[in-house]
Structure 1
Amino acid sequence: MTRFAAVDDARLHCRASREWGGISANRIHATAGRHAADPRPDHRLVFYETGGVAAECGCEGVRRVHTLTPGAFDLVPAGASGYWEDSAPVQFVSVRLDPRLLTDTAEALAIRGSIDLAPRIGARDAVIEPIVRALASEIEAPQPAARIYADSLGAALASRLLQSFMAAGAPRRRGLSKPQQRRIADFVEANLADDLPLERIAAEASLSVPHLTALFRRTMGQSVHRYVMERRVQRARALLQDRRLSTSEVAYACGFSHQSHLARWTRRVLGATPSQIREP
């Protein structure tokens, strides 16, 4: 029996999806009604884009009757089942994470003991929300972002889930060694024009991707993605000031997907457009 009158079984329609290695994101429209989720091998995060809808949700003994708010999410751990009953149509982003991503991240953060996530209904988190919104913006983007960007978001999401949604031990205060820092810097500088997935950068330092992302941020105070983009901007500035290449040629030579992508990052890092950088 449903809680809401005249509500039948809900139908789910996947409007768009994108997958990057151990993480995927799907924008889904659900009609009013009740639907159940069978156990799956991956962790699921249901991030609501619709608000003001009365709903009842349950997962492994955790149950809540509430009004949905945009930015809230439900966390369904791997192997868990659940149900959702909505009084009106709802749109949400379903993010799935491979448990191996969390296992590797937990190892990198020196988290001891069980790494099982606990189910949550209607959770809010100031760190997770912008990460999922960034993933959601990529679902229907005409050009997919560089793999390093998606990898960084996936690693950041896994790290936050481990640190804030389960009992965890204190991480070791270890960082990248000086030789590792040098190898990473040299590799990035030599390959700025190419796509730079985290796997390639991690291999230069003989690390797994979760180890790289955790140790790099701890050592450098920024994400790998931010570091790479700042190095691309610095290379682009030198080429723009040299004036021998057009702005679009500079963009491609520095690994930006297009000219507006370059302009967005020069404004973000340098506070100036490419044309302003060219000025004597």
Structure 2
Amino acid sequence: MRRLQKHGDIDFVPAGVDGVWEDDADCRILRLGFHASLLEQVAGELGKDSAKIEFLPRLQIRDARIEAIGWAIKADLDADTPSDPLYVDLLANALAVRLIEIATARRHQAEGSDGPRLSARQLSMLTEFIEANLDQKLFLADLAATAGISSTRLKSLFRNSTGSSVHQYVIRRRIEYARGLIATTAMPISEIALATGFAHQSHMASTMRRVLGQTPGEIAGPLRKFRPKLQGSA
């Protein structure tokens, strides 16, 4: 396959899966890896059987939590004095937890979503359209036209394909995009709200509080302390 890689894209390649790629231009990649025993240990602590968790290759994941963990690890690697090893261990455990959450969520969606679904091409076209227009108002009719189906049919097919409604998916993507900007840029919160499709800063704050249990200010507190070093090395 050939694709356009964007800043913040995440690829997940499970152990034992060969992966070969060639970049058309200069780029910088943070590559993280850990032993399978860590996943087994964390899965056990979560009350799950690691042998029953199917980790599938995934390309161009958009996940604000994984991205924030990656930036925090990079900041520690770039620091003149590395943190206590316990800090990196905690980050590694957090990453393992998130990967297990993603793998098990996909399985539950697959088991619980009966009925017709969008084709892989339709779903790809829709998600790409949403990503490219997160800063704009999105209308169901436009999304339906992108997929080449009616608005009514889109709602059921999208839920069967993703496990969430179109509205829930778009809100989640706006929140993840905003959270990533808060973590990795110096943009004012008010500008981030508009850049991610929220009506205003208060709208974004109330939505984040409802979905994440955190406000933009609470997210910025622990994450933005890494920004000066991250910007200098980008």
TM-score by length of 1: 0.38
Higher relative contact order (CA 8 A, sep 6+): 2
**Larger helix fraction of residues:** 2
Higher gyration radius (CA): 1
